[in-house]
Structure formats: C-alpha cells, structure tokens
A and B are shown apart, each in its own frame.
Chain A
Amino acid sequence: MNEKYSYKDFLQKTFIDTDSSEWNDSDVVGSCFAQETPNTKVFPDGIKGVTFTKCNLDNVLIPAECTMKDCTNKLIQVQKDGNDWILNPDLTPLEPVNKADYIKLGISTDPATLPVADTAEKPVTEITKEQLEANLQAQIKALEAAAYWR
C-alpha cells in the first residue's frame, strides 16, 4: 500500500508536480481526490501501474495506465438550479446527485426541466419554509399539551 497517499483527504488538491516515482506500481487505498470541476488533471504525467482502491476520484482524470477498484469516478457539476448534477461523458447533465431529495420534494429529475438561467433557489437538501412551519406548529402543540397535563 502506498502509505503516503492512502487513507488521506486530498479534496481539491493536485499533484501534477510530484515525482511519478511516488506513485508508480503502488496501491493507493481509501483516499479522497475529488475535484469540483469535471476532468481535472490531478496526477503527474507518465505515472503507471497505480491501483486506486476505494478512492473518491470524482471529476478526476485517471491516467491511462492506472486502474480503479471500488472507486467512484463520476463527472459532477453544479447546474443552473444551484445543485450538483451527475454528467454524461459529453458533460451534459444526467441526473441530480441528491436524486432522492428531488423525488421526495416532487421536483423533476429530468435535465430538460433545468432552468436556463441561474436560480436563487436554495439547495434542495435544505428544509423548506413549509416544513419548518409545520415543525414549529408541532412543537407548539406538544408544549401546549405538556402544559395542559401539568
């Protein structure tokens, strides 16, 4: 196992200027190399024989002579609705990263419905004002009930 680069957090970091000998013919395990921009070059030219295992390589360009095992290597980018979407290889949006939240909130996951201009909407992971109000009302009722039974 490549001790220097395993089980580490390298989010948004690049290693283009590192010596390829630090990487060649090694197993890199359990590290995060994820980037915010699709197809970001992270590793130095010419590295070979690197096996990435259980690594997060989202938006990372994987060198040709390296392999991945149980890794994620999705293309992800924020869209005009303010949320992150998984992209097709041609960088068109495929589906939202937090698809389950969209479905729960009844929002379409069809990329054709994405707004064409930036939206001021909050990320759909955040609670809506209606949900907040419902929660507050429930708490008020609970407090009232507690007071009644005192």
Chain B
Amino acid sequence: MAAATMYIDAAAAGGGNGTTWAQAWNEAEFEADLEANAEAGDIYYVRGGTYTLDSAYDSGARDATAVAPIYIIGVNSGTTNEPPVLADWATADNRPLFACGTNNIGLGDYYKVFNLRLTGSGTSILSVAVNCVIYNCKSTNSRTASTSASSFSGSTSTFISCEGIGADSTHGYAFSSGRMIFCYAHDCNWGVDAASYGIYLFNIFDTATVGMSIVSDDIVTAFGNTIYNCVTAFSATDSYSFVGINNIVDTATDGFLWTTQNNINVYMYNHIGNSVTDMWDLVEETVVPHKDNWVTSGDPDFTNEAGGNFSLESTSPCINAGMAMQLGVG
C-alpha cells in the first residue's frame, strides 16, 4: 500500500476510514492501525483532546525509513484543514493528551513525533526505537516504584524542545547515543539516564538527584546546559572523552562527580554558581587537562529559577563569559 495521511480525533464515534476529519479514527482505531498497518511515509494528524489508553502501543514491527519516516503530529482541537498547516500545530495545553495509565507507547524506527502530551506511571511512557525525532512533546511519569522508569526513552534518537517530568525514582529521559536539544527535565530522579555517546545542547536540568547521569559509557558532549538544584550536576563512573563546555551549575552538592577520573575528559568555561559544595569532586583531585579558563563563581542571575525561568538577567556574569562560538573558521 502507498503511504497515506490519517486523521485521529478523541471524540470520533468510530467506524470511519481515517482519511478525513469527518471520517477520523478514535483512539482504539489509531492504535490498531499504527500497530498493524503503519508504513514508511504515513502521516497521522492527531486532534487536541484526551486519548485514554486501555493497552500499550507497540509499533515495533512497523518501522519507517530514513527517507520516509512515519509522522505523528498533534494539532489544535478545532483543526479542520486537510492536511493541517503549520499554524494548526498544537502547543502547550492545546497539545493532544495521551493518558497512558500504566501503559507505554512504544514506537519503531524512524518515527517523528511532534506536539503531544503524555502522562503515565509505566516503565517508560514514550519509548522509541532508533533514529526517531521527538519534538515539542511533554511527558510526565508519576511512577513511584523504584525502578529505572522514565518519561522518554530511546536510542540514537533526537529530542528537541521536549519536557520530561519524573518522580522521586523516575527519570526525565533515558537513552543513549542520542541528541537532546533545548529540552527541560525537572522534578525527577535523574534528568537523563545513560547519557552515552550523546550530544546535549542547551538543556535545563532542574531539581533532580542527578542532572546528567553518564553511567559508564563514553563520548558525551554537554554544551550550554543549565543544571539547577540537583544533588549532583554531572555524574559518571569512568566515562572518557567527555566534553563539558559552557554549562552553568547552580545549587548542587557536587558539580562534576567522576568515580574514576579519565584524563582525556575536557572541562572548559563552565560556570560555578551558588551553593555548589564540591564542583570538581575527584576531578580536582587528579591530573585532568583542560580544566583552566573557568568562569569565576557567582550567582548566575536566573530570571526566576523557582518558577522555571532560567533566562539570564542582564547582570548575569555568564553573559559573554563562555567559550565564544566562531562562525566561518577554517
């Protein structure tokens, strides 16, 4: 069959063919099609509303491809355009809400998921396989059971402008070999778990036991992240080829905590903020190169950190103090 465009509406009565808003599928029909018929190039437009799951989604057998991903795009509840235009894309609380309960949404390879909200208490609410892109999604995992649960999980995938919320023993994000850009992880156990082989740019990790837990894997680049009110900002065992530049750490017991330090790690231009008890636990106790050029300590002057606004006031010592990004070099 050829790739198709499908329409999903939480309030649909059911029995439609999914090809127009008037014939939109309901939640159960969406799940059935995703698991049995989804194919490379398909696009699912999901109208705003509450979608209550009675079972887990598993489209692991319905992989897409690099040139023809499968899209799942949340649009505003009143959307009538066929297909929807960019202005119909849902933001904030207009995004469709998938109330997962104890279920997970498991997707295969090469999915692109935009503009959804998800809640649940399962092991991982939105779990993607490999080479997926998750954009503008918010996932809240309220699980209290002490296991490695998370709001988002995946591998070799990219998370952009997503919000992951956990619980005392639940992580915001759990994945490896991924990219995490402009994301917000907060009120969780670890902001990100198993951050190996990954690139983490301009994210915020707020109120967690560990901001970024790099476990025992390698080659992680963390640039321009803000880690606030975490017991440990960066935690690793013996990870090597870690590059940490232009990160702001504020209010932490430990800044960079390596159980076994490796001398090919790079730490530059990171800002030591308020109330950081031991910024370089172990790092400062061993011979680690490239640890010069720190910005001096001080209040980074967030606009309203308690309210989740981590933009910098004009008085912030961090402005123009990090490593300069040069364009056109070489």
* Chain A residues in the interface with B (C-beta under 8 A): 7-9, 11-12, 30-32, 34, 36, 54-56, 58-59, 70-72, 76, 78, 82-84, 97-98, 100-101, 104, 118, 122-123, 125-127, 131-132, 135-136, 139
Contact = CB atoms under 8 A, between A and B. Distances in A.
B45 to A, nearest CB: 19
Most buried by B among A9, A59, A98: A9
B50 A11 contact: no
B103 A30 contact: no
Given A11-B142, A59-B102, A98-B104, A30 B120 contact: no
Interface in B68-114: 97, 99-104, 106
B99 A9 contact: yes
Given A36-B144, A55-B52, A83-B147, A125 B101 contact: no
Nearest to B129: A127
Contacts of B183: none
A125 B125 CA distance: 10
A88 to B, nearest CB: 16
Contacts, number: 125
Given A11-B120, A12-B121, A30-B10, A139 B101 contact: no
Contact of A125 (B49, B102, B153, B156): B153
Nearest to B154: A127
B277 interface: no
B47 interface: no
Sorted nearest first, the 8 A-B pairs with minimum C-beta distance are A34-B101, A32-B99, A9-B99, A123-B123, A72-B54, A82-B147, A78-B145, A56-B101
Most buried by B among A58, A70, A84: A84
A111 B299 CA distance: 53
A71 B123 contact: no
6 contacts: A11-B142, A32-B101, A32-B119, A36-B145, A71-B54, A97-B102
Interface in B286-312: none
Interface residues on B, range: 35 or more
Contacts of B28: 54
Contact of A56 (B52, B143, B144, B174): B52
A97 B174 CA distance: 20
Interface in B140-194: 142-149, 153-156, 174, 176-177
A55 to B, nearest CB: 6
Nearest to A9: B99
Contacts of B100: 11, 32
A50 B239 CA distance: 56
Given A9-B97, A56-B53, 8 more contacts: A11-B119, A32-B99, A55-B52, A71-B54, A84-B122, A98-B104, A100-B60, A123-B124
Nearest to A131: B155
A70 B14 CA distance: 13
B52 A100 contact: no
A72 B31 CA distance: 15
Given A82-B148, A84-B102, A135 B124 contact: no
Nearest to B14: A54
A58 B102 contact: yes
A34 B124 CA distance: 16
